[in-house]
Amino acid sequence: MAKHPTTKQKLSRSRVRSRYTTFATNARRKLTDSAPIVTCTQCKQPKVNHRICPTCGYYRGKKVINKASPLDKVTKIKA
């Protein structure tokens, strides 16, 4: 006899997929409602509104991140 709760019947594939689809839909809706996707004015790529564009590094027409040169490697930690 099993001491932990066990399922009495196998869930059909349709029922399992339906449950996970609902979960995915809700998660996607939550993400899109909180952060609307807009097109970047600089490079016309999709980006999250009120965030720096990950493609070109521009925000409100100003260059914030230099995407051409990658960040300098941290070699020494200053105390």
Q: Under the rule (CB under 5 A), what is the footprint of Zn ion?
A: 40, 42-43, 53, 55-56
Decide whether 29 or 51 has the Cβ nearer to Zn ion.
51
- Nearer residue to Zn ion within complex by CB, 22 or 41: 41
Which tokens is 64 given?
């914030």
Taking the complex as a whole, the smallest distance from the CB of residue 42 to Zn ion amounts, in Å, to: 4
CA 56 to centroid of chain Cα atoms: 18
Q: Which is nearer to Zn ion, 61 or 70 (CB)?
A: 61
